[in-house]
Structures are given as C-alpha cells and as structure tokens.
C-alpha cells in the first residue's frame, strides 16, 4: 500500500459510513411510517368488514372503536407521543397498561417520578418513609417548601397527581424492608431504585431477582452519576457485578458528602427513560451496559459491563435464592452499613475531657484564656465557624500541632493567663465525633487540658445560638 494511500482510505471509509448511516436512518423512518399505515389500514379494514357483515354502527361508535383503548382525552394528552412514528399508539398503549415502582422520592426519584407520571405509566408506586427538609430542596425538585416537615410520599404523590390525574398513584409511606419488599414489589412490572445506600441496593436487586422484575438502577454522588438496567432479559443483576459489598468507608452518602442538585436530576430523568422503554417495549434498554456521567467535563460514557454470572448467589445458574431466604437475609450485616443511618454518636472520652456548648460559652464570656481548634475540613470551615477559632482539619492535626502551641502562647500573652496552667484547648467539629478523635490525639501529644465540645456546632446552634446556621 502506498504511504499516502492510508489517509485516502480512511477518509473514503468514513464518508461511506456517513452515507450508509444517513440511508439507514431514512429507511428506518420509512419502515415506521409504513408500519403505522399498515396498522391504520388493518383497523379500517376490520371496521369495513364488520359493517358489511350487517352490524349497524353509529358514527360515534366508529370514532371510538379503536383497539388501543385510548380515550379522546388520552389521545389529546399524549398526542406528541402518538405522533412519534417509533413510539406511537402501541408504545403509549403499552405504557398505560404498565406499572412502575419508584423506591425513594429523593434526588433521583424526584425527576424520575415527574416524568413517569407525565408520560402516562398506568400505575405508579412511590416508596419513602422520610419527611421533606429544607436541605432537600436543591435537588429533590418534586417537593415544594409548603411540604417541609411532611411525608415525602404524600408530597411526591400530590405533585404526580397534579401533573396527571388520569393515572393511578399508590403511596407506600414505609421503609422498604425484607418483611414488606416482596409484597410491595410484586404489585409492579418495573422497579426504579432511587435509594443511596448499599443495604437497600442489594435488598432491591435481590427482591427483583426473586420476583423476576427488571430494575432500573441509578446513582449520583458529588458531580458524578451512573445508570444501568439490571435483571432484564437475561442480563446481570446487582450482585453479578458486586458479589461482595464495597468497604463501608467507600460508600459516600449525599447527606454527608455533597451532591450538585442537577446531577441526580439528570440520572433520574434517564431512569425514567429506561423504565419507559421497558414498559412500552420501544428501544434498547441499558442492560449489560453502564452509563457514566461526569458533570464537570460534560462527558457521558457507556461502558460494557459483565453479563449474568453463573456463580451469582442471587441469579446464578446454581443459585436457589428463594423468597424465604430473601425474607431472612440480613442486608445491614451483609453490607456492614445501616439501611437508615442515624447520626453517629461516638463516646470516646471521659466526662472531664468534655464540655457542653453552653459551658464553653460561659467560659468565653468569662474571658478564659483558650484556643478553639475547629477540626472540620477547610470547605466546611468556609461555610460557617465560631469566632476566633482556628481551622486545623483532623487529617492535618499531626503536621500542624505547632500552630496550637503558638496560638496558646499568643493567648497567654494577650490575656495574661492568671492560672499557672496557661491557656486551655478546646476542639470542635460539626457533630462532635471528630472533635473527640482530635482530643484523644492531643492528649497523647501532651496537650492534657484539651477538651471537646459535646455535639459540636450542631449543639451550639441548638443550645446557645439559634441563629447559628446548620448545614
Ligand atoms: Zn446476579
């Protein structure tokens, strides 16, 4: 081959591919139009046959005689769906006959539910046991401020009903557990997982395997999201991909790790799309593949994932995972993480190494010479902090101990410490756990007077200054 022949070949191949793709798209469109015409002709033919057989029909019966069962209101409401050649009457009719359960009316569930209600899924179930909070508002767009403090299921159901009163919305205002999951999931054709913790993911996936339901799974943390469809048409389940749970520390949860609101919104929309495709039998669901979204670089990648594993404990060839086994499986023990985590409350120190936020306030007011070390990460410190605190994140404490010594000397000089013991040291954090770890370390390093502020800044906001922001 000639040296410049390669370049010519590449460009001519590319050009031919483009031409063929254009032709393919034209052909597919033509097929859809012809199929729609064929359906129309068949229906008209049936009508003519019936009339010529001697059955007399009024004009109104002829108009409403359609095999798809869409009422005039439905035809008008979903007209933009019906006008899609590749979706059309059949797709909409399938959708209206389908039922979808969305577990979690949070960030993912919000956008998924809004679109599933709008598009005309016949029966839409919502599972959630939580209440709406102000800190949900930036991402859980199905809820409004008027519902703060009220049940998320009620709020989400009301939003769905206000969009589409013609479909059935079912509220399951309870936490999904092994004791009720089989009963709830068995009422639906498709399950959408909008939860955010390992025990729930395994529980929902296993339940779908046991019941033979497709599962549309989504996740969003920080600025990244992912999406796939499990247990569909012989494809893998969640356990096929993750036979052993991830280490507990690797499981970030948005309550503590932060998430840009729009990211779960996008993934939730894509979950609705996959559920719609499965329900309407249109398109190719994202089974055996995973979509990865990187919001910062606006990159979406689709990677092939492993197929169904014959060794899988839930869906493998030799697996006999039964409904009874599911009911008795301890998902929290298996994943070593709680399904409904309560705020962590460590108790590492003796009482005389701790001080309440109220007592700390009194000491500040009395002019006690002291240094307050805020051991939260720097980006937390930027949100809000107590006056005169110095920020040394727990992870940097070892390297920055000298800053505490310096600050103590400075404080003693200013306040002319009356006691011989010099300035005292207090440690504070968001909720009072890291501050205990810090004090343990400070004691070890010779700062024997160090104490932690019990309950951290949360207790300051609760017990000392109600205007102090919480986050
Ligand atoms: Zn499996």
For the chain, helix (H) and strand (E) counts, in that order, are 19, 13
Q: Which DSSP symbol is given to 244?
A: S
pLDDT of 2 = 42
pLDDT of 253 = 46
Element (H, E) at 34: helix 5-52
Per the listing, tokens 């356990």 go with 239
CA of 315 to the centre of ligand 1 (A): 4
CA of 314 to the centre of ligand 1 (A): 5
Q: Is the pLDDT of residue 308 over 80?
A: yes
Q: What share of the chain has pLDDT > 70, as a percent?
A: 87
CB atoms within 10 A of CB 48: 10
- pTM for this one? 0.77
Q: Is the pLDDT of residue 154 over 70?
A: yes
Query: Of the candidates 427, 431, 428, 434, which has an alpha carbon nearest to the alpha carbon of residue 471?
Result: 431
* Tens-place pLDDT, residues 165-203: 999 999 999 999 999 999 999 999 999 999 999 999 999
Helix (H, G, I), strand (E, B) or coil at 382: coil
Q: Output 422 or 67, whichever has higher pLDDT.
A: 422
CB atoms within 10 A of CB 259: 22
357-388 as b/e: b if 16+ CB within 10 A: beebbeebeeebbbbbbbbbeeebbeeebbee
Q: Which DSSP symbol is given to 463?
A: I
CA of 322 to the centre of ligand 1 (A): 13
Any bridge partners for residue 230, and if so which? 215
- CA–CA distance from 40 to each of 33, 34, 321 (Å)? 11, 10, 47
* Tens-place pLDDT, residues 402-438: 999 999 999 988 876 555 568 999 999 999 999 999 9
CA of 242 to the centre of ligand 1 (A): 9
Helix (H, G, I), strand (E, B) or coil at 145: helix
Query: Of the candidates 391, 379, 395, which has an alpha carbon nearest to the alpha carbon of residue 437?
Result: 395
Query: Of the candidates 294, 153, 148, 142, which has an alpha carbon nearest to the alpha carbon of residue 226?
Result: 294
Name the CA radius of gyration of the chain, rounded: 30
Q: Is the pLDDT of residue 356 over 80?
A: yes
- DSSP E strands, 363-436: 370-374, 389-391, 424-428
Kindly indicate the confidence band of residue 99, based on its pLDDT and cuts at 50, 70 and 90: very high
Query: Of the candidates 301, 118, 295, 138, which has an alpha carbon nearest to the alpha carbon of residue 227?
Result: 301
d(CA 208, CA 240): 13
Q: Is the pLDDT of residue 210 over 90?
A: yes
Q: Catalytic residue numbers?
A: 254, 429
Kindly indicate the confidence band of residue 68, based on its pLDDT and cuts at 50, 70 and 90: confident
CA of 316 to the centre of ligand 1 (A): 6
Decide: 126 and 96 in contact? Cβ < 8 Å. Answer: no
CA of 311 to the centre of ligand 1 (A): 8
* Tens-place pLDDT, residues 376-385: 999 999 999 9
* Tens-place pLDDT, residues 246-255: 876 544 444 4
pLDDT of 50 = 46
Torsion, Cα 33 39 45 47, to 10 degrees, reads: -130
- CA–CA distance from 43 to each of 13, 57, 62 (Å)? 45, 15, 11
Per the listing, tokens 């910062």 go with 296
Query: Of the candidates 127, 124, 128, 126, which has an alpha carbon nearest to the alpha carbon of residue 168?
Result: 124
CA of 130 to the centre of ligand 1 (A): 30
pLDDT of 320 = 77
CA of 127 to the centre of ligand 1 (A): 24
CA of 278 to the centre of ligand 1 (A): 19
Per the listing, tokens 């495709």 go with 277
Kindly indicate the confidence band of residue 344, based on its pLDDT and cuts at 50, 70 and 90: confident
What are the residue ranges of helices labelled H in 196-261?
Answer: 198-211, 238-241, 254-257
Supply the mean pLDDT for the chain: 89
CA of 210 to the centre of ligand 1 (A): 11
CA of 234 to the centre of ligand 1 (A): 10
pLDDT of 345 = 82
pLDDT of 11 = 84
Q: Is the pLDDT of residue 61 over 50?
A: no
Measured in Å, how far apart are the chain's first and last C-alpha atoms?
Answer: 67
């Amino acid at each position: 081959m000639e040296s410049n022949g390669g370049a010519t070949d590449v460009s001519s191949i590319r050009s031919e591919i483009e031409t063929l793709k254009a032709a393919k798209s034209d052909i597919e469109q033509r097929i859809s139009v012809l199929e729609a015409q064929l359906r129309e002709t068949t229906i008209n033919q049936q009508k003519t046959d019936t009339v010529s057989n001697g059955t007399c029909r009024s004009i109104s019966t002829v108009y409403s005689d359609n095999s798809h069962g869409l009422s005039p209101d439905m035809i008008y409401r979903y007209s933009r769906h019906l006008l899609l050649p590749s979706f059309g009457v059949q797709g909409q009719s399938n959708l209206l006959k389908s039922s979808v359960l969305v577990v979690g009316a949070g960030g993912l569930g919000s956008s998924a539910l809004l679109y599933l209600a709008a598009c005309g899924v016949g029966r839409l179930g919502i599972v959630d046991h939580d209440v709406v909070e102000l800190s949900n508002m930036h991402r859980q767009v199905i809820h409004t401020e008027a519902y703060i403090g009220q049940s998320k299921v009620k709020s989400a159901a009301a939003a769905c009903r206000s969009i589409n009163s013609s479909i059935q919305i079912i509220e399951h205002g309870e936490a999904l557990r092994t004791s009720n999951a089989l009963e709830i999931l068995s009422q639906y054709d498709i399950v959408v997982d909008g939860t955010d913790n390992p025990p729930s993911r395994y529980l929902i996936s296993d339940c779908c395997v046991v019941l033979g339901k497709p599962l549309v799974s989504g996740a969003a943390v920080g600025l990244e999201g992912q999406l796939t469809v499990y247990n569909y048409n012989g494809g893998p389940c969640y356990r096929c991909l993750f036979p052993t749970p991830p280490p507990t520390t690797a499981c970030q949860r948005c309550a503590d790790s932060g998430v840009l609101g729009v990211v779960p919104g996008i993934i939730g929309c894509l979950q609705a799309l996959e559920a719609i495709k499965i329900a309407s039998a249109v398109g190719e669901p994202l089974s055996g593949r995973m979509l990865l979204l990187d919001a910062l670089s606006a990159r979406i990648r689709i990677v092939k994932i492993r197929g169904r594993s014959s060794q899988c404990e839930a869906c493998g060839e030799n697996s006999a995972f039964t409904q009874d086994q599911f009911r008795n499986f301890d998902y929290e023990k298996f994943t070593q993480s709680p399904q409904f985590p309560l705020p962590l409350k460590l108790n590492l120190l003796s009482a005389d190494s701790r001080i309440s936020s109220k007592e700390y306030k009194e000491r500040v007011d009395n002019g006690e010479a002291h240094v307050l070390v805020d051991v939260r990460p720097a980006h937390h410190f930027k949100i809000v902090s107590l006056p005169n605190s110095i920020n040394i994140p727990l992870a940097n404490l070892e390297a920055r101990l000298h800053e505490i010594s310096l600050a103590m000397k400075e404080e003693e000089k200013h306040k002319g410490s009356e006691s011989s013991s010099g300035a005292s040291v207090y440690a504070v954090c968001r909720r009072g756990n890291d501050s205990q770890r810090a004090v343990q370390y400070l004691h070890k390093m010779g700062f024997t007077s160090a104490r932690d502020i019990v309950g951290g800044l949360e207790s300051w906001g609760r017990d000392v200054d109600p205007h102090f922001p919480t986050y």
